[in-house]
Amino acid sequence: MAKVKSAFFCQNCGAQSPKWTGKCPSCGEWNTYVEEVIEKEHASSPSWNKASGPARASKPQAIDQVESVAMQRIKTADEELNRVLGGGIVPGSLVLIGGEPGIGKSTLLLQIALQLPNLKVLYVSGEESEQQIKMRAERIGIKNNNCFVLSEVGIANVFRQIEELEPQLLVIDSIQTLYSDKVESAAGSISQIRECTAELMKFAKETNTPVFLIGHINKEGAIAGPKVLEHMVDTVLQFEGDRHLVYRILRTTKNRFGAASELGIYEMQGEGLREVKNPSEILISQKDGDVSGVAIAATLEGNRPLLIEIQSLVSPATYGNPQRTSTGFDNKRLSMLLAVLEKRGGFRLGTQDVFLNVAGGLKLDDPAADLAICMAMISSLEEIPVSSKVCFAAEVGLGGEIRAVNRIDGRIMEAEKLGFEAIYVSKFAQRAIEGKKFKIAVRQFGRIHEVISDLFG
């Protein structure tokens, strides 16, 4: 019998300590250490051990002598997933998908598994029975005889089934439900998550089999378990959205094989998730006429240009201190833009309540939305509508200058494709669009008061 001992683990970063401590020396968080019982590994403990031969020690090689191998990505029928992964599934990659309960993580991965008829897929669930997975598959309505399901929480038995089946793609739903016999703590604990993920990572790299992991999130919205989990995997995807709304956003937060800021948008329907090919159309609401306080921003998410509706409401403060409330936009940046409008534009906003909303449930961090936000607030303050055929793509500086933003040509072409008649940009973006012909009118300005004069007179 192996010696059994206990240790303390930080729930935030996964650091280990032989005794309890109030403040974690690794991440600086307080009261995050919990005690877990650990059993040293048995010589006969089951794990992924299908090695091609005896273990050999690695030797250093000169980088120019390392053989470069072109990896052929696996293209799925889901173009949104291909985009956020950087062009398809990389063989041997470990992908972690996190999101709130009921957001559609299991539905998304089962749908992807069913859409790969040429690959042998093993879908392992520790939360549902085979019959429940079958019910979801029938609801999705895709038939695939090459998709196998397994209801299991012991990772040793999972690997036994993998050795027999030899799948070409593995889905684990979820990593928090798996447990290993090497660790005596309960499933979902830090040591269990770390051990199971390490075994799956070893399997993925040795067999060149892509593995998808579903991860739960905690109350702060971060993926539950040790922070080292996100460091171990190759790609981290966040599945976002309001469960009461139909649209879902798949966002890349880490990707070793592509851009780490890509975005995919889905619509939740009765038969599963539908790809939204042109998200700009759903992010701009359909109205009978122009309404004050609304402006369209030409933003960029990863390599994808999006036209997003900015809604603003400015009214006199009647309850003491003026309120500054924003949904989907940084509140501190909103305060900065209000100060610029007051100082450089001459608008008295210090006694006004300001409410800002980014339509569609998106969270904006693109500075190109600054000009649209300013115009929406002025439109609401002066009760003058901004034409729905006009959009904006520029950053606003503290001096009231209109600053250029990157990829301005892609933003202009997206606005042109959607039928906009004019787009307001910085005059310092002239070099980026010089020599290019657009059907849309490109209006260039250097100061914010010039845009206000041209737009509102």
Following DSSP, what letter does each residue of 299-313 receive, concatenated? EEETTEEEEEEEEEE
pLDDT at residue 350 is higher than 80: yes
Q: Which residues pair with 149 in a beta bridge?
A: 123
* Span 328-341, average pLDDT: 94
Predicted confidence (pLDDT) per residue in 390-425, tens digit: 999 999 999 999 999 998 998 999 999 888 999 999
Q: Residue 453, Cβ neighbours under 10 Å: how many?
A: 11
Characterize 76-108 residue by residue with b for buried, 16 or more Cβ atoms within 10 angstroms of its Cβ, and e for exposed: bebebbbbbbbebbbbbbbbbbbbbeebbbbbb
DSSP string, 256-308: TTS-SS-EEEEEEETTEEEE-S-HHHHHS---SS--TTEEEEEEEETTEEEEE
pLDDT band with cut points at 50, 70 and 90 for residue 43: very low
Question: Can you count the helices (H) and strands (E) in the chain?
Answer: 12, 21
Question: What share of the chain in percent tops pLDDT 70?
Answer: 92
What gap in Å lies between CA 230 and CA 19, rounded to an integer? 25
Q: Of 50-54, 131-135, 234-238, 375-379, give the lowest mean pLDDT range.
A: 50-54
Instruction: Tell me how far apart the alpha carbons of residues 230 and 214 are, in angstroms, rounded to a whole number.
Output: 12
The half-sphere exposure of 443 on its side-chain side, counting CA atoms within 13 A, is 17
Q: For the residues 361-369, what does the mean pLDDT come to? A: 88
- Give the residue, 457 or 325, on which the prediction is more confident: 325
Give the mean pLDDT of 366-375.
95
Q: Tell me: the pLDDT tens digits for 248-304?
A: 889 898 999 988 878 888 988 888 899 988 888 777 776 667 789 999 999 988 778
List the one residue out of 33, 76, 71, 125 whose CA is nearest residue 234.
71
What is the maximum span of the chain, computed from C-alpha positions, in angstroms?
A: 85
Task: Give the integer Cα–Cα distance in Å for 422 and 441.
Answer: 4
pLDDT of residue 288: 65
3-class secondary-structure state, position 36? strand
Q: Residue 11: left (phi > 0), alpha (psi -120 to 50), or beta? A: alpha
Residue 88 backbone phi and psi in degrees, to 5: 135, 175
What does the mean pLDDT of the chain come to?
A: 87
Provide the b/e sequence for 411-442 (b: ≥16 CB within 10 Å).
bbbbbbebebebbbbbebbeebbeeeeeebeb
**Phi-psi sector, 302: left (phi>0), alpha (psi -120 to 50), beta:** left
Q: Are strands 422-426 and 441-445 parallel, antiparallel or unpaired?
A: parallel
pLDDT of res. 50: 55
pTM: 0.78
The per-residue pLDDT for 224 is 64
| The pLDDT value given to residue 52 | 43
Return the pLDDT at 81.
Answer: 93
Q: Which structure tokens are listed for 289?
A: 């006429």
Q: Quick check: bond before 45 cis, omega within 30?
A: no
SS3 content of the chain, % helix, strand, coil (to 5): 30, 30, 45
Amino acid at 84: V
Distance CA 302, CA 319 (A): 41
Partners of residue 5 on adjacent β-strands = 38
Residue 134: name the closest of 119, 149, 117 by CA.
Answer: 149
Which residues share a beta bridge with 248?
266
pLDDT of 2 above 60? no
Beta strand ranges found along 156-292 (DSSP E): 169-173, 211-215, 235-240, 247-255, 263-269, 272-275
Helix axis angle, 130-140 to 105-114, nearest 10°: 70
Predicted confidence (pLDDT) per residue in 142-199, tens digit: 989 999 999 999 999 999 999 999 999 999 998 989 988 887 777 888 888 888 999 9
Q: What is the pLDDT of residue 45?
A: 45
Distance CA 134, CA 33 (A): 40
Closest to 366 measured CA to CA, from 400, 395, 401: 395
Positive or negative, the CA dihedral 326, 328, 333, 337 is: negative
Give the residue ranges of the annotated binding site for ATP: 99-106
Annotated binding site: 99-106
